[in-house]
Structure 1
Amino acid sequence: MAGRVILASIALAAFWLPMASGAQGIEAAPVAAAPAPRLVFSDSEMALAQAVARQPGLAAFYGTNGLTPIFTGTESAARRAALIEAVSRAAENGLPASRYEVERLRALDAEGGNSPEAELVFARVFARWTHDISGGVLEPTKVDPSIKRVVLRRSTDELLHDYAQSPDPTGLLTGIEPQDPHYLALKKALGGKNELVAPAKLKEVEPGLWKVGMTGEPVVALRARLAAMGFDAGKPVTASSVFDAPLAAEVAKFQDRVGLPSDGVAGPKTVARINRKAGGGDHGILVALERMRWMNGHDLNARMVWVNLPEFNARVMENGAEVFETRTVIGRASEDRMTPEFSDRLSYLVVNPRWNVPRSITVKEYLPRLQANRNAVSQIDIVDGNGNIISRDRIDFSKYTAANFPYRMRQKESDDNALGQVKFIFPNPWNIYLHDTPTKHLFGQSARAYSHGCIRIGRPVDLAHELLSGQVKDPAATYQKALDTKKETWLALKPTIPVHLVYFTTFPDANGRIQRFTDVYGRDGAVYDALMRAGLETF
Structure 2
Amino acid sequence: MKIFYSIVAFVLLMAVFSCNKKEESKEILKKPSEEVVPELKIKIDSAGISAFYKTYPKLIKFQNEVFALYKKNKSTQLWLDNKGVVEYGNTLFNKYKGLEQEGLKANFPYKEQINPVFEHTAENKLSKSDTDLMISNLYFYYVQKVSGVDEKTSRELEWLLPRKKVNYQVFSDSIYNKATISDDKKSKMFSQYYKLRDALHEYREIEKKGGWKAIQTDVDFKSFKLGDSVASIGQIRERLYVTGDLKEDTKSNICDSTLIKAIRTYELHHGLTPKNIILPEHIAELNVTVSERIKTIIANMERCRWIDPELEKGKEYIEVNIPEFRLYLIRNHDIAFVSPVVVGKTMNKTVIFSGMMNNIVFSPYWNVPPSIIKSEIKPGMAKNKNYLAQKNLEWNNGAVRQLPGKNNSLGLVKFLFPNSNNIYLHDTPAKSLFERENRAFSHGCVRVGKPRELAIELLKQDPSWTPARIDKAMHAGKENWVSLKKKVPVYIGYFTAWVDRDGNLNFYKDVYKRDDSLIKLLTEE
TM-score above 0.5: yes
Paired residues for 1:223-262 under 5 Å: 223=237, 231=246, 237=251, 241-253=253-265, 255=267, 262=274
- The equivalent residue for 2:353 is 342
- The equivalent residue for 1:130 is 143
Answer 1 or 2: which has greater helix percent.
2
Pair 201,500 (structure 1): closer, same or farther in 2 beyond 3 Å:
closer
Residue 183 (1) aligns with residue 193 (2): yes
- The equivalent residue for 1:476 is 466
Residue 120 (1) aligns with residue 133 (2): yes
Pair 448,227 (structure 1): closer, same or farther in 2 beyond 3 Å:
closer
How many angstroms apart in 2 are the aligned matches of 1:319 and 1:179?
19
Paired residues for 1:345-364 under 5 Å: 345-364=356-375
How many angstroms apart in 2 are the aligned matches of 1:56 and 1:201?
40
- What code does the residue aligned with 1:155 have? N
Pair 266,200 (structure 1): closer, same or farther in 2 beyond 3 Å:
farther
User: Which digits, 9 at most, give the CA deviation of each residue in 1:57-109, with x for residues without a partner?
Assistant: 64156248637356333298244234223323311211122247677545335
Residue 219 (1) aligns with residue 233 (2): yes
- The equivalent residue for 2:494 is 503
- What code does the residue aligned with 2:170 have? L
* Aligned partner of 1:47 among 34, 48, 51: 51
- The equivalent residue for 2:11 is none
Paired residues for 1:453-472 under 5 Å: 453-469=444-460, 471-472=461-462
CA contact 1:260–1:515 (8 Å) conserved in 2: no
How many angstroms apart in 2 are the aligned matches of 1:90 and 1:199?
22
Residue 66 (1) aligns with residue 80 (2): no
CA contact 2:113–2:126 (8 Å) conserved in 1: no
Moved more, 478-487 or 361-370: 478-487
Shift of 1:261: 5.1
Paired residues for 1:483-522 under 5 Å: 487-522=478-513
How many angstroms apart in 1 are the aligned matches of 2:369 and 2:93?
53
SS at 2:337 equivalent: strand
SS at 1:316 equivalent: strand
User: Which digits, 9 at most, give the CA deviation of each residue in 1:331-389, with x for residues without a partner?
Assistant: 1122xx111111222222223322221111111221222233343132222233xxxxx
- The equivalent residue for 1:529 is 520
Paired residues for 1:266-415 under 5 Å: 266-267=278-279, 270-271=282-283, 282-296=294-308, 298-302=310-314, 303-334=316-347, 337-378=348-389, 379-384=392-397, 407-415=398-406
Pair 179,376 (structure 1): closer, same or farther in 2 beyond 3 Å:
same
CA contact 2:89–2:135 (8 Å) conserved in 1: yes
Shift of 1:257: 6.6
SS at 1:364 equivalent: helix
- The equivalent residue for 2:180 is 169
CA contact 1:301–1:318 (8 Å) conserved in 2: no
Pair 56,258 (structure 1): closer, same or farther in 2 beyond 3 Å:
closer
SS at 1:164 equivalent: helix
How many angstroms apart in 2 are the aligned matches of 1:492 and 1:46?
58
- The equivalent residue for 1:95 is 104
CA contact 1:90–1:96 (8 Å) conserved in 2: yes
How many angstroms apart in 2 are the aligned matches of 1:497 and 1:202?
44
- The equivalent residue for 2:171 is 160
- What code does the residue aligned with 2:93 have? I
CA contact 1:86–1:174 (8 Å) conserved in 2: no
CA contact 1:137–1:290 (8 Å) conserved in 2: no
Pair 489,226 (structure 1): closer, same or farther in 2 beyond 3 Å:
closer
User: Which digits, 9 at most, give the CA deviation of each residue in 1:255-313, with x for residues without a partner?
Assistant: 55777654354455655676788778612111111111121354213221110111111
SS at 2:64 equivalent: helix
In structure 1, stretches of 5+ residues that fail to align are: 1-40, 385-406
- The equivalent residue for 2:25 is none
CA contact 2:224–2:255 (8 Å) conserved in 1: yes
CA contact 1:192–1:279 (8 Å) conserved in 2: no
How many angstroms apart in 2 are the aligned matches of 1:70 and 1:493?
56
Normalising by the residue count of structure 2, what TM-score does the alignment of the two structures yield?
0.75
SS at 1:192 equivalent: helix
Pair 72,511 (structure 1): closer, same or farther in 2 beyond 3 Å:
same
Shift of 1:195: 6.8
Pair 524,43 (structure 1): closer, same or farther in 2 beyond 3 Å:
closer
Paired residues for 1:33-44 under 5 Å: 43-44=47-48
- The equivalent residue for 2:433 is 442
Shift of 1:513: 0.9
Moved more, 287-296 or 196-205: 196-205
Pair 200,383 (structure 1): closer, same or farther in 2 beyond 3 Å:
closer
CA contact 2:344–2:445 (8 Å) conserved in 1: yes
Shift of 1:423: 1.5
Shift of 1:420: 2.2
Shift of 1:524: 1.6
Instruction: Report the aligned-residue RMSD.
Output: 3.9
In structure 2, stretches of 5+ residues that fail to align are: 1-44
- What code does the residue aligned with 1:132 have? K
* Aligned partner of 2:154 among 137, 140, 143: 140
Shift of 1:178: 4.9
* Aligned partner of 1:77 among 86, 90, 95: 86
SS at 1:97 equivalent: coil
CA contact 1:419–1:436 (8 Å) conserved in 2: yes
Shift of 1:485: 7.1
Shift of 1:154: 2.3
Q: Which of the pair has more CA radius of gyration?
A: 2
Pair 476,121 (structure 1): closer, same or farther in 2 beyond 3 Å:
farther
Pair 201,383 (structure 1): closer, same or farther in 2 beyond 3 Å:
closer
How many angstroms apart in 2 are the aligned matches of 1:176 and 1:132?
17
- The equivalent residue for 2:24 is none
CA contact 2:241–2:248 (8 Å) conserved in 1: yes
Pair 281,250 (structure 1): closer, same or farther in 2 beyond 3 Å:
closer
SS at 1:317 equivalent: strand
SS at 1:330 equivalent: strand
CA contact 1:259–1:513 (8 Å) conserved in 2: no
Moved more, 86-95 or 407-416: 407-416
- What code does the residue aligned with 2:201 have? G
Shift of 1:490: 3.1
Normalising by the residue count of structure 1, what TM-score does the alignment of the two structures yield?
0.73
* Aligned partner of 1:417 among 404, 408, 411: 408
